[in-house]
Amino acid sequence: MSKIIVYSEEAFEGRSAEFKYDVHNLEEKGFNNAIASIKVIGEPWVAYYDKNFAGKQRVFEEGEYATLEDKGQFSSLKKVTDDLTNPKIQLFEHINYTGRSVTLRNETNLHDIAFSNIASSHKVIGGVWVLYEHTNRRGSQLVSFPGDQVSNYVPLSFNDVASCVRPLLPRP
């Protein structure tokens, strides 16, 4: 069974709580803006800065996270339950799916295909994708699910910054 365990202090100290299902509002669980370390067992989870799976976001795959870049920021948690086989995403140069486009199926450094700091919209055909502000999976993230169509990165503060993208992979 997939689950996430959250802690109020770094290094898995302080108060803790374990969740097996989406938490749309961490305030109801006494953990709003209070998560300082995380353990994930099983499927990946996405943590969001705002309740109801909105705002800035970060993926946590199976593993232990003793310190967090986004300590004290998360307000909702979503479990990834989607089919991760056959990932496919289409990125577009401009908003509303216009301009140059590229179709990707694997982790890609967008510098390598002359598409870094260009993308302004996308369509996810398959899988769950993470877009990163910087190469080597660094910086802000934008997480997108199968069938998602994101027509404009501007309101997401993600316009013309994506430098690397990758699909979440099925666990072996």
- Applying CB under 5 A, the span of 19-27, 34-42, 107-115, 118-126 interacting with Ca ion comes to 118-126
For residue 160, state whether it binds Ca ion (rule: CB under 5 A).
yes
Smaller CB separation from Ca ion, 81 or 157? 157
C-alpha to C-alpha distance for 155 and 40, rounded to whole angstroms? 30
Q: What residues form DSSP beta bridges with 45?
A: 60, 79
Q: How would DSSP label each residue in 45-86?
A: EEEEEETTTEEEEEEE-SEEESS-TTTT---EEEE--S--SS
Residue 117 Cβ, how far from Ca ion at the closest point, in Å?
8
Per CB under 5 A, the list member of 57, 75, 120, 141 interacting with Ca ion is 120
Which residue's C-beta sits nearest to Ca ion? Answer: 120
Residue 119 Cβ, how far from Ca ion at the closest point, in Å?
6
Smaller CB separation from Ca ion, 28 or 160? 160
For CA atoms 33, 134, 136, 123, the dihedral sign is positive
Tell me how many residues contact Ca ion (CB under 5 A): 2
Q: What x-and-dash track marks residues 29-68 binding Ca ion by CB under 5 A?
A: ----------------------------------------
Q: How far is CA 57 from CA 1, 40, 93, 94, in A?
A: 23, 16, 22, 22
Binding site for Ca ion (CB under 5 A): 120, 160
